[in-house]
Structure 1
Amino acid sequence: MSETFPVATLRAFSNGVFTAAGLAPEDAATVTDCLIHADLRGHASHGLTRIPIYAERLHRGVVNANPRVTVTHTAPSFLVVDGDNGPGPVVSLKAMDAAIETAKAQGVAAASIRASNHNGPGSFYVERAVEAGCIAIAMTNAPPSMAVFGGRDPVIGTNPITFGTPVTGNAPVLLDMATSVVARGKIVEAAKRGEAIPEGWALDRDGNPTTDGQAAEKGVVLPMSGPKGSALAIMVEVLAGVLAGGRFAGSMGNLYKDFELTQDNGHFFLVIDAARGAARTAHAERVEALVAELKGSALASGHDAVLMPGEIEAMRTVRGTETGITLPANVIADLAAIAATVGAPALAGEQAA
């Protein structure tokens, strides 16, 4: 049975778990904010359900709870960031803040990040750049769970891409997508609950199409749009993994199963100060004009609105902030178990109205 909790209750609980697992309060708050951001946007596979595995890896010492994140400028606009095996959200937010600062000074910044870990939704970092008046693109590589087009072995990650731009008005323009048909975390969650998945999401370990969540978890997720998603995943691997000098493809550690090998995720951020473009201060207004033209186009049969990338997630965030976040029974049980393991206060039973 699921329960709905106020955001403040979940934030206090999560901060307690991560500080008990060894993080400084500021870093615990960063990880918590990242996970809550995902849940509020409706991406529960990257939300608070990740607390147990993030905290367990910290508790076991597989992830460095006190990283020294270093930023080196190898060119005026190019940053090399070493995360010192710190939590992905902590490393990535520091990298994004450095990239924004550089973009404001130079007009553009590219950040290549290594020695990091799973960093959650890219929208968490891209939104920060957008709020600073920047266009941003974020990429990350991931442990191998996806087959490349034509193959059946898990040789590459779902390698997500996030893109965002400043815009005036109410409709955001923020794309956040995996290069797979679906985020791997959704298959993991379906397997936990013993649920079926839609046809076309995955192959079992023998290379056969499956709708069984548990069989899919043991097999591979498929790239979106066949060769197109596969090609995008490869390009993300080049920018986020190969360029960063870290592990890539099959050499990465498994988030859930490997407690000896560090993940060494790589990320890549590109940040552009929108005020440096030809439109200068009119950029956000021009994007709003683009949005208005697109949303004003004639509707196809069966549709009642033209929605921009990120618009549904923005509406969910407003609603969830007011009503709270609903967690399924299995996630609540997992949260209770990890709190007991690290010695953190239990999740309060207070429910949202």
Structure 2
Amino acid sequence: MDRIQAFGKSFTAAIVPTVNRTQQMMKEQFGNVDDKTKLPDNYLELEKRVDALKQVHQKMLQVTSQYTHEAYDYPTNLRESFNDLGRTVTEKVSLLSTANSASEAAAAMTAPPSAKPQPKTFNHAIARASLASSQVLKTADHDGAKDDPLAGALEKYAIAEEKVGEARLAQDADVQARFLAGWSTTLNTQIQFATRARRGVESARLNLDATKAKYKNSGAFSFPGQGRDNLGEDEHLSEEARAEIEAKEDELLAQTEEAVGVMKNVLDTPEPLRNLAELIAAQLEYHKKAYEIMSELAPVVDQLQVEQEANYRKSREGA
């Protein structure tokens, strides 16, 4: 019997505060409370700033999470075959360089894969299309196509685009490791810690207001201006009621101080800005490599174009 009574008291002690908090919250939601305890202005300001930081993380992660999807810029209407994705452009060009016939060239283009399927990025897709186009020209006129400037330019362009695609994949890996991981940790750990601390404050505040309301409704005391006197709300409280309210006030103060510390720590951490700098560095490195690759290719293709123009004019003059 003693065990049952002890369990009953323990259960009551655990469930009653929850019920009281829920009732108090419902009253506030329906506008039936006039004396809700006001939290300090500096605390409310920190809440606004943490909410803003959370919104920033959610908005940025919603967009930048695309870096985790290899095919985020891959054409949706493109349908490439297993053979298209079998070998890298560089491998195919190497095989083509040793081909002595059209059949050997075709075999080089359809050689079985040496590793996993090739990446589905826009740059890789352009590279594969350029190499395939180069081979179409060479196949159409195999005897003279080795000197076809457009076929040669397309092959060089294919190699360059594949290099750019690899640089893009390296960028994506860096962004995932140096930006996404950090911002996800801040959102799901540090900001979540602040959220839990704020819930503790709200719970303590509801406990306090529910306790005050209990004694107010029971007639244990009256608030100023409600008909008894103007001596203050504590004047008509019993010692037991006053002690209970003071305990709830102390709990609210402790929870508030803890939450302030946690929120300040979240707001002061340099990690988000450091991670953003890493994102920019990864993007800069990618664009730098892409610029270098295309800077090497452009004069080569320009020279091919100049030579073709000259040959075209000579052929027109001799006609």
Bigger Rg, which one: 2
Whichever structure has more strand as a proportion of its residues is 1
TM-score (norm 1): 0.20
TM-score (norm 2): 0.21
Whichever structure has more helix as a proportion of its residues is 2
